[in-house]
Amino acid sequence: MLFHNWLKDDSKIILFDGAFGTELIKRGLKPGKVPDLLNIENPEIITEIHKSYYDAGSDMCQSNTFGSTPINLKRHNIEGKITNIIEKALDNIKKAYRPGHLIVGDIGPTGEFRPPVGNASSEEWYSSFKTQTELLEGGVDLFHIETISDLEEMLAAIHAVKDVSNKPLIASITYKKTKRGYFTIMGDSLEKCIKTLENEKVDVVGANCTLGSYDMLDLVKQTTELTDLPISIKPNAGKPRIEGTKTLYDQPISEFVSDIQKMIDLGVKIVGGCCGTTPETIKEIRKIIDSNKY
């Protein structure tokens, strides 16, 4: 399998895509609109964004299915459209796909927390992720569970994916930097998360979102000391700045890419971008990857 071959190849740095929501907002996505619904309503835009990342040099791009779980879609009264949403998402990315590259099934958080914050249970999470995985499985090469801030929700997602599919799995958690180190908002430490993911035998451990490239670089230094598994990193383009209803990211691409270079030098296997990054960001990362021999 191509992804496994890439992981075994010491000379291969895998380039992921960048932010999807950022690109949708540029194209007029309104606050409160479910991005996944655009797979049906405006498929040309979805394919255009996927193509822009493949063209920029991404080895693999992920489907526009971040929020395509029954739990999340139910909040917007569109859970009945889940099959159509995911089928269209796969159609849209396949139109942009090119041979020798990969399609990643994107699985984001449900948006529901467990008590006392919310009412979600591990069983409900599992069922929701399993439905999403079953619909994605036939059209993707691997899965990326991302932006999860509760280790219990991550476990539910991992178990759901593994019960449906034998395809490779990247598990990315989102962390906050505190005076005591890096923790999820539910209080799980970086070390606890890494060890838990190792025990679950995921193919790749990762971190994405929340942190800009500078803080993510520090997290990478700690992560490399905690695990021998391949590492995937997708930082934000610095800290967000709110201007009216818009969220802006001002970090220069050159600064972001410089931090990515340092992460690669530390041993990170998969690099890409989260909020605020663009196809131009990915294009510049492609340049540094191609100009070095690892």
Express as a percent the part of the chain with pLDDT over 90: 89
Q: What secondary structure letter does DSSP report for 189?
A: B
Above 60 in pLDDT, residue 293?
no
Specify the pLDDT at position 240.
Answer: 79
Q: What is the CATH number of the domain that holds 255?
A: 3.20.20.330
Report residue 288's pLDDT band, with 50, 70 and 90 as the boundaries: very high
Specify the pLDDT at position 31.
Answer: 81
Above 80 in pLDDT, residue 22?
yes
Specify the pLDDT at position 242.
Answer: 78
Domain span at residue 219?
2-290
The CB density around residue 260, as the number of other CB atoms within 10 Å, is: 28
The CB density around residue 85, as the number of other CB atoms within 10 Å, is: 24
Q: List the structure tokens of 195.
A: 């060890």
Above 70 in pLDDT, residue 6?
yes
Above 90 in pLDDT, residue 115?
no
Span 136-145, mean pLDDT? 98
Domain count, the chain: 1
Span 124-137, mean pLDDT? 98
Q: List the structure tokens of 67.
A: 């929020």
Measured between alpha carbons, how far is 64 from 95 in angstroms, rounded to an integer? Answer: 13
Per DSSP (E only), the strands in 174-294 are 176-178, 181-183, 204-212, 231-236, 240-243, 246-249, 270-271
Cα angle 213, 144, 168 (rounded to 5 degrees) comes to 125
Express as a percent the part of the chain with pLDDT over 70: 99
Span 247-265, mean pLDDT? 94
What mean pLDDT is reported for the chain?
96
Q: List the structure tokens of 97.
A: 């796909």
Above 50 in pLDDT, residue 294?
no
Span 219-238, mean pLDDT? 97
Q: pLDDT for 24-72, tens place per residue?
A: 999 988 888 899 999 999 999 999 999 999 999 999 999 999 999 999 9
Specify the pLDDT at position 263.
Answer: 98
Span 244-264, mean pLDDT? 91
Beta bridge partners of 142: 104
Q: Kind of pairing, strands 204-212 and 169-173?
A: parallel
Q: List the structure tokens of 223.
A: 């992560």
**Residue 211's closest CA among 221, 196, 201?**
221
Above 60 in pLDDT, residue 212?
yes
Span 77-102, mean pLDDT? 97
First to last CA, the chain: 22
- Match 């590259």 to its residue by tokens: 101
Specify the pLDDT at position 119.
Answer: 87
Query: What predicted TM-score, i.e. pTM, was given to this entire model?
Result: 0.97
